[in-house]
Amino acid sequence: MRIATWNVNSITVRIDRLLAWLESSGTDVLCVQELKCDAESFPGDRLREAGYEAVVHADGRWNGVAVLSRAGLADPVTGLTAGPEFDGRAEPRAVAATCGGVRVWSVYVPNGREVGHPHFAYKLRWLDALRATVAEDAAGDRPFAVLGDFNVAPADEDLYDVAAFEGSTHVTDVERAALAALRDTGLSDVVPRPLKYDKPFTYWDYRQLCFPKNRGMRIDLVYGNRAFAASVKDAYVDREERKGKGASDHAPVVVDLDPR
């Protein structure tokens, strides 16, 4: 089974590339983030024509997540257990489903904006709610993974230049501690470093030629429980999909499973 995660940065803008990538990559399950559409405008018909069911959590703003599957889709859940609100609303940032016997969560962690901003405190509350939700859902022998755009670089080697991020979000000790607490529920990072590149980044800003100069970050992650990690036979960042006109600013992260 091939499972992937991809922040598409607007599924309506990127639908043609998304469908082409699903076909060329042979992906069975895709966790998608930053849909930027509401449930009514989600391109479900086109995905069904391509053989994919979908569970969608979206409201038309700057968030939105989905799980796409051609391996079955059962027991969908939208939102975190006791998830926090921001500005009086619960944002659509997490959705789960069981696909071919594998439980997956697609998550889009809040950006945080800047250290000290109310959105930064919200980000930390959200990560804590994710930890609590995962601890409840990941237990047992069923393969389980939480995949998505975490908006946190786990370590300094996940940055093109540590000095360039000094004082900013995504790299603070408290954010990395929240990721460590998530892993402490029994999860591990199943995408090893290095991969095919010395620095396997997953995100490059559109500005200042960041992609051609490889000024990126690794913030799109796959954390699996023991059963999931034991089934991984390959994992990679599809850097080629970041190239060309109309690309997302994120690349897909792909994991191949060989369930035992």
Are 216 and 202 within 8 A, CB to CB?
A: yes
How far apart are the C-alpha atoms of 57 and 257, rounded to whole Å?
Answer: 26
Q: What is the structure's pLDDT at 195?
A: 56
- What confidence tens digit (pLDDT) does each residue in 131-184 have? 999 998 998 899 999 999 999 999 999 999 999 999 999 999 999 999 999 999
Helix (H, G, I), strand (E, B) or coil at 68: strand
- What confidence tens digit (pLDDT) does each residue in 193-218 have? 655 556 689 999 999 999 999 999 99
How far apart are the C-alpha atoms of 22 and 71, rounded to whole Å?
Answer: 13
Q: What is the structure's pLDDT at 60?
A: 86
Domain count for the chain, please give it. 1
Mean pLDDT of 1-22: 98
Are 203 and 250 within 8 A, CB to CB?
A: yes
Q: What is the structure's pLDDT at 259?
A: 65
CATH number at residue 178: 3.60.10.10
Output the average pLDDT for the chain: 95
How far apart are the C-alpha atoms of 191 and 254, rounded to whole Å?
Answer: 9
Q: What is the structure's pLDDT at 227?
A: 96
Spacing of C-alpha 117 from chain mean position: 23
Q: Which of 172, 165, 190 is nearest to 253 (CA)?
A: 190
Spacing of C-alpha 241 from chain mean position: 16
Q: What is the structure's pLDDT at 243?
A: 96
Domain containing 168: what range?
2-257
228 half-sphere exposure, CB direction, 13 A CA radius: 31
